[in-house]
Structure 1
């Protein structure tokens, strides 16, 4: 499989190196590899400290449409999602809501009976055809300059879309990711841990990528794109299947389209809250689905994005790091534990120093600065088995987390 190509080639290089050199040289090679990726993590943290949101207001008002595809959604959460769109500080010209063949019609009937706004357009498939199909049916009806992708379990802050439009005053910006936090973070251990990881993925990962004008995934929970990003590409977007793989990450594909044409930024002031899994089984299913999209779409983006862009190199480093770093560290701990532990301690100290120097430009506490580097490595290790499973099941293409409600509405505040 092509998704294994990079990792397998690296493994072959290491095996050949070990065959013709003594073990000490192999250890040096692996330590250099580990140090490279630890420096890469430090570099991204440095970039995240340089991030600033866009504050200027667009001179020419842009029209906006919102598309919401849902499948087996909790009716109460769906109502709150739609209401948050209607309550925005700027007027949204069109709101498309599409039921992709949910098992029950309750959610669809609930929102069609409750909302009477002329801006709302409802539709329903009799059977599930996939999220991309639902999105394309809505995208083809767009009349606005900008379209918003919104998950059906995401609740917008009142000024979220207004803030999200600010970067588009620059004609070179084609995509903007909103800033997402967990709606139900305090509902249990799983949601608490995941909520922290979700928050850091925006304040650290996407903030760093935004500084280089290339957020690699404008989150499908809440993101904005110019209409030009998708226009004329509906069939290509609908048939995301290459080399026998289902390329399921619709948000990453849209982001890749946008990076092809210009800049993709994070707007940290465009805030929203989303429902996250409260149970390990649903969390694991969601992570498998995201991991499939991560690998397949990263391989696609490496073909499409110019090597002159930082986005290409970040994509390459990320996919190699996720595949190789955990195994390399484990191997070194077994073979030469003292050396690798010293390297990790040195990384921790450098990280803390970097955070302390940059604290004036972020809101991290001292405890955050100590724990975050360890959390990042733990995150890479914890998700490694999930990502391996995802690689071997790339041909699967299901919603996965939507066999039933992600959580019950009673679990969410508000």
Structure 2
């Protein structure tokens, strides 16, 4: 069974030392900029000061994050909660699907129920996996449902699971390729001992991180961003996007907004992606959204550029749509509102600085960019990437992870070139709201690199489950249903213990 944990002591010390070196390099670059003539100094000094301040604030914030610990009283409270896992499945590789289901049963704190919804898969009906699961779950006493429904998208598949689990107090959302570390459920529940916490994000690492260069660089970039950007947000209870492979929510966050969740539109088109960020936005409206860095999940990363690029464009389009909703609906009294503005400010400022130093200064003023500009991003990247080394995996030696860490320049070059262009292209094409992957079957298989060959589907009954008696979903635009008190919001009574 795959396992992982976070080791903090040495990594934190090393990160502080190297970040101090990065700060020195940044200061050096500012001095070089000031060595230009007085006109050029005025153009550059203020910009570099702003970027330096933003960088230092982010550094301070992510070092403030700590895994939540549990008191004896909190443990008793959490033990009485009904925890339900929601797993939508669509054209998933059977090997990854079974690996994830096995991890649910191997938890130190098993879920009370698991709700699997096959969203009309065309590549398989998972008969063998389902037969195994029926026996294995029954043996350990985990309640479950396994539904096969007409294809309607991930959100509707999750909703089927919600409707058959009215007793749940906490919903844990996972993907069909999620493999939970043995203590992931136990750890992701701990922050809920604080009443104000409404959602908890786990840490996502790649199951197939050593498949090729792309998966190594993607794993490095993704883990570092979670332990830097999202850790900083978590320090003030303002995580903006939970990850699909592992996130947990108080049940009312999902139930009370279910109709809005299923009927979100943007520019008149239904939104099929960005489901995790929308759930996080609902949670932010009610309280704190945090990350638990000790709750770790393995997931399959794209092994081909075509798969990765489609996934990244979907993320950027969803991020743009969600930014519009945050600006419109988040209260200015919440840290998430200002962190969201800071992110956009930093993105625009960085883009302007890059274009200015590489194009405008050389062409218009005959000033070549300082050589230190080539080194500062790599030093900062390596410094922040030390947090990647703090995640210890059962299936990989530290020297292999160190090799991945050394690839940080490749991740930075990718971020500065292809990903930057794709970010702006995603913003410009945010009205394209389709999913874009898995239409032809799983694109990553557990048995090896590449997509699994689609198998002829075996007919299986399609089940449409109605809402609980006396409740009827209504279509309504997102703005009305973001208000928790709106009468049109779907509500399902939950018996309390």
**TM band (smaller chain):** 0.7 to 0.9
Q: Contact conserved, 1:212 with 1:310, CA < 8 A, in 2?
A: yes
Residue number in structure 2 paired with 1:287: 312
Offset of residue 288 of structure 1: 0.8
Q: Is residue 405 of structure 2 the alignment partner of residue 405 of structure 1? A: no
CA distance in 1, matches of 2:305, 2:410: 22
CA distance in 2, matches of 1:353, 1:89: 34
Q: 1:344 to 1:38 in 2, by over 3 A?
A: farther
Q: Is residue 424 of structure 2 the alignment partner of residue 392 of structure 1? A: no
1:166-205 counterparts in 2 under 5 A? Answer: 166-205=190-229
Long gaps (5+) in structure 2:
1-37, 392-397, 450-497
Identify the range of structure 1 (28-37 vs 380-389) with the bigger mean alpha-carbon deviation: 28-37
Q: 1:27 to 1:397 in 2, by over 3 A?
A: farther
Offset of residue 208 of structure 1: 1.0
Q: Contact conserved, 1:329 with 1:340, CA < 8 A, in 2?
A: no
Offset of residue 411 of structure 1: 2.8
TM-score for the superposition, normalised by structure 2: 0.70
1:361-380 counterparts in 2 under 5 A? Answer: 379-380=415-416
Q: Is residue 158 of structure 2 the alignment partner of residue 129 of structure 1? A: no
Q: Structure with the greater relative contact order (CA < 8 A, sep ≥ 6): 1 or 2?
A: 2
Offset of residue 251 of structure 1: 0.3
Residue number in structure 2 paired with 1:93: 112
Which of 130, 140, 144 is the equivalent residue of 1:112?
130
- Structure richer in helix, relative to its length: 1
Q: Contact conserved, 1:151 with 1:222, CA < 8 A, in 2?
A: yes
RMSD of aligned C-alpha atoms?
3.4
Q: Contact conserved, 2:220 with 2:405, CA < 8 A, in 1?
A: no
Q: 1:98 to 1:88 in 2, by over 3 A?
A: same
CA distance in 1, matches of 2:200, 2:317: 23
Q: 1:162 to 1:275 in 2, by over 3 A?
A: same
Q: Is residue 244 of structure 2 the alignment partner of residue 208 of structure 1? A: no
Q: 1:316 to 1:245 in 2, by over 3 A?
A: farther
Residue number in structure 2 paired with 1:138: 161
Deviation string, structure 1 residues 177-219 (Cα, Å, up to 9, x no partner): 0111111111001111101111102211111111111111111
SS in 2 for 1:185: coil
Residue number in structure 2 paired with 1:329: 354
Deviation string, structure 1 residues 337-370 (Cα, Å, up to 9, x no partner): 55753784796599599879x99xx789999999
Offset of residue 90 of structure 1: 1.4
Q: Is residue 100 of structure 2 the alignment partner of residue 81 of structure 1? A: yes
CA distance in 1, matches of 2:43, 2:355: 15
Q: 1:339 to 1:173 in 2, by over 3 A?
A: farther
TM-score for the superposition, normalised by structure 1: 0.83
Residue number in structure 2 paired with 1:12: none
1:18-33 counterparts in 2 under 5 A? Answer: 28=42, 32-33=46-47
Residue number in structure 2 paired with 1:231: 255
Number of paired residues? 386
Which of 27, 32, 52 is the equivalent residue of 2:66?
52
CA distance in 2, matches of 1:236, 1:220: 19
CA distance in 2, matches of 1:91, 1:320: 43
Residue number in structure 2 paired with 1:316: 341
SS in 1 for 2:104: helix
Higher gyration radius (CA) = 2
Deviation string, structure 1 residues 225-264 (Cα, Å, up to 9, x no partner): 1112122211111111133355430000111111111111
Q: 1:343 to 1:25 in 2, by over 3 A?
A: farther
Q: 1:313 to 1:34 in 2, by over 3 A?
A: farther
Residue number in structure 2 paired with 1:7: none
Q: 1:345 to 1:276 in 2, by over 3 A?
A: closer
CA distance in 2, matches of 1:91, 1:355: 34
CA distance in 1, matches of 2:39, 2:120: 58
CA distance in 1, matches of 2:424, 2:235: 30
Q: Contact conserved, 1:96 with 1:122, CA < 8 A, in 2?
A: yes
Q: 1:30 to 1:305 in 2, by over 3 A?
A: farther
Offset of residue 38 of structure 1: 4.8
Q: 1:29 to 1:102 in 2, by over 3 A?
A: farther
Offset of residue 327 of structure 1: 4.9
SS in 1 for 2:224: helix
Q: 1:236 to 1:51 in 2, by over 3 A?
A: same
Q: Contact conserved, 2:191 with 2:292, CA < 8 A, in 1?
A: yes
